[in-house]
A and B are shown apart, each in its own frame.
Chain A
Amino acid sequence: MASSQNKAAHWQRTRNLTYVTLAIWFFFSFFVHWFGAELNTISFMGFPLGFYMAAQGSPIAFVILLFWSTRRQEAIDEECGVAE
């Protein structure tokens, strides 16, 4: 059984990872699309960039973000000795 010290450290690190994940999420959910019209003047792989980010860029970013943060969380659980 994990000590309460381990649990505190685990929650601290879990929280920090969540903050980082949500910051990246915020960027791709809201920040990028706030400038949709401006980004559309740039061309990316033939797409207007604003259109591309909404149709593909942000969803791809979400998939990668979840793969990454889940791996990080599993590592944190292991290192703090609180994994199942």
Chain B
Amino acid sequence: MQKGFINNLPRIYGLYTGGFLGFIALMAILEQFGVPADVLGILFVTFTIAIYATIGWLSRTMQVDAYYVAGREVPPFYNGMATAADWMSGASFVAMAGGIYFGGYGYLAFIVGWTGGYVLVNSLLAPYLRKFGCYTVPDFIGTRYGGNTARLLAVIVLVVASFTYVTAQINATGTIAARALQISFEVGVWFGLLGILLCSMLGGMRAVTWTQVAQYIVLIIAYLVPVFWMSNAQDFGLIPQFSYGSAVERIGELEAAAGVGQLMPSESFVGLRALTTPHAAASEGAFASWQFITLVMVLMCGTASLPHILMRYFTTPSVRDARRSVVYSLFFIFLLYFTAPALATFTKLQIMDPNLATGIIGKSIADVQSLEWIQKWNNVGFLAISDSNGNGLLEINEFFMRGDIVVLATPEIAGLPYVISGLVAAGGMAAAMSTADGLLLAIANALSHDLYYKIIDPEADTRTRLIVARILLLIIGAGGALVASLQLSSILGAVAWAFSFACSGLFFPLVLGVWWKRANRQGAVAGMAIGFLAGSYYLYHVRFAGGTPILGLDHLRFGIVGMAASLVAMVGVSLATEEPDAETQAMVDAIRVPGGDTVLDQTH
């Protein structure tokens, strides 16, 4: 599993991809022979998890640098795939297209924010942190600014931001496992956690890296194949991403005819929505523009502050490769994100266009209710139909569904074989598992390296450190699963909060640590503490205390308030106190130059 493994990566993952495509073909053949859909779903999910677990087992290690930074030998192309899987969560995979379906233009802020953030990662942070040679993000803060207070604050922000995120991922694995394996949700959550831990427990970052590459391959195939298939089956064009302009236009006409935005639903179903927002139209005026760009900004700065992403760039052999990794990451993420709006558009067109065989809006209620996919998803509470005005026809405000349907049910709406639905389940599982793994590892590594080793017991030997790291992984994973199994919707709806928490506390301390030599310990401590507290208080104020948002900065955008407070506090306090000593300034000079030794030792 050493040099030979790295040199053979193209062959290994080529075989893996071919094997996975062969597996899909086998499933398609089994379907033809009448194997029931349930069995195919079970096979898809268990087979892929078994592969990830095998990779996790093969990557086991007792070396510190392999456990924390995958031995710093991950080539950029593969690190890009691993980061993309790390990044794209169950929510990106399952909910992104549905969000665009319901939210229209306004929701596209997520597409812009979650791609453009990588420009900040590449320009401001990744190569410099790689040169620093740290194991974790708090490791950088603690060494650059010095002192346990700064390190501890960074750990706290990291844990809060990552933990809000990870419960949602464990919840997603539970939901998918429960449906595919036909077990209860509570059991599904623990089953999902077991799969996640099999990938990370034994091999830490090294195991997570190589499973994430495998998971990316599954998730991108699972996302793209149905879209290409559907588009070609319905004559939208060979590469649908570039040719759905006319579909957007047609939806505009249909929406006017169907009264989208005028006809409001007169009933409500828990967790389901009727379409009320036009697809492509942007709201006019400065306030709407301000809302769009503030959301973009929080998502971008959050991207550049989330430790589970930044730590992926510590695994490359060199600074140059860290930079190249970011470029590959963005490209691999882009493949999914520029497909999501196309998928949302096609699904909407298929549902709304009376000229298409799949159209249901304007048809008779009785006809629509006899459709197989309507019945199936109605049974599991994912959609509902109600003839509110009693005219016997299905109007736009009488059709309710969950956003997730856009990804999960589109193969069935378009009449694709079941094997595609099984593939989509495996893809969703891969997306949720890979993100959960990255987040759990980020939390456990920060606690074991920064809190336990650097602050509590600096004398600990390697063996103890790695055992502590694994025990923490287990405890945090179990904690996440416990919270997920409670199904507190207030936490699960809050994936976007992770971005605001992260940028409130960490964005400026990280960026200024590289770009402003004058930034000192007192400034960084103030920046983290005040930014994080101001952001958290503002969140409490607008979300739970019934306060009115200032300038339209609602609970999704509280990071703007946190970042502003953080910047002012950090600059103000830094300038009011002594400048950093010569040694620290030399350290900053050293990380700005790619060549030469890392600031921290190779193993520390």
Contact = CB atoms under 8 A, between A and B. Distances in A.
Interface of B is mostly: helix
A63 B248 CA distance: 24
Nearest to A36: B282
A44 B23 CA distance: 41
B297 interface: yes
Contacts, number: 156
A63 B595 contact: no
B481 interface: no
B280 A59 contact: no
Interface string A26-38: 0011100111110
A30 B293 contact: yes
DSSP class of A's interface residues: helix, strand, loop or mixed?
helix
A29 B320 contact: no
Nearest to B300: A29
A69 to B, nearest CB: 7
Contacts of A7: 589, 592-593
A45 B592 contact: no
B297 to A, nearest CB: 7
A54 B105 contact: yes
User: Interface centre among A25, A51, A73, by most B CB within 10 Å?
Assistant: A51
B284 to A, nearest CB: 4
B365 to A, nearest CB: 32
Interface centre among A18, A50, A63, A66 (most CB of B within 10 A): A66
Nearest to A59: B115
A18 B515 CA distance: 11
Interface string A7-44: 10011001000100110010011100111110010011
A18 B120 CA distance: 10
Nearest to B120: A25
Contacts of B29: none
Contact of A54 (B108, B326, B595): B108
Contact of A1 (B279, B285, B320, B596): B596
A84 B317 CA distance: 10
A62 B116 contact: yes
A18 B296 contact: no
A40 B594 contact: no
B470 interface: no
B50 interface: no
A44 B246 CA distance: 10
Interface string A47-63: 11011101110111011
B293 A69 contact: no
B334 A84 contact: no
Contact of A14 (B280, B330, B592): B592
B193 to A, nearest CB: 33
B593 A47 contact: no
A18 B126 CA distance: 13
A35 B116 contact: no
Interface string B220-243: 000000000000000000000111
B288 interface: yes
B327 interface: yes
Contacts of B279: 51
B48 interface: no
A8 to B, nearest CB: 10
A77 B322 CA distance: 14
A33 B334 contact: no
B248 A33 contact: no
B206 to A, nearest CB: 22
A56 B116 contact: no
Nearest to A67: B327
A58 B112 contact: yes
Contact of B334 (A43, A50, A63): A63
B289 interface: yes
B319 interface: yes
Contact of B116 (A11, A25, A70): A25
A56 B338 contact: yes
Given A22-B123, A30-B293, A69-B122, A56 B249 contact: no
Q: Which of B245, B249, B318, B331 has the most CB of A within 10 A?
A: B245
A47 B109 CA distance: 17
A66 B327 contact: yes
A63 B331 contact: yes
A42 B288 CA distance: 19
B319 A46 contact: no
A17 to B, nearest CB: 8
Nearest to B589: A7
Closest 5 CB pairs of A and B: A46-B245, A54-B108, A36-B282, A55-B341, A47-B245
16 contacts: A10-B593, A11-B593, A25-B123, A29-B112, A36-B288, A37-B283, A43-B249, A46-B243, A46-B246, A55-B341, A62-B116, A62-B119, A62-B334, A73-B323, A74-B323, A84-B320
Interface of A: 1-2, 7, 10-11, 14, 18, 21-22, 25, 28-30, 33-37, 40, 43-48, 50-52, 54-56, 58-60, 62-63, 65-67, 69-70, 73-74, 77, 82-84
Given A21-B123, A77-B594, 11 more contacts: A10-B593, A29-B297, A30-B297, A34-B293, A46-B246, A55-B341, A59-B112, A62-B116, A62-B330, A70-B122, A83-B320
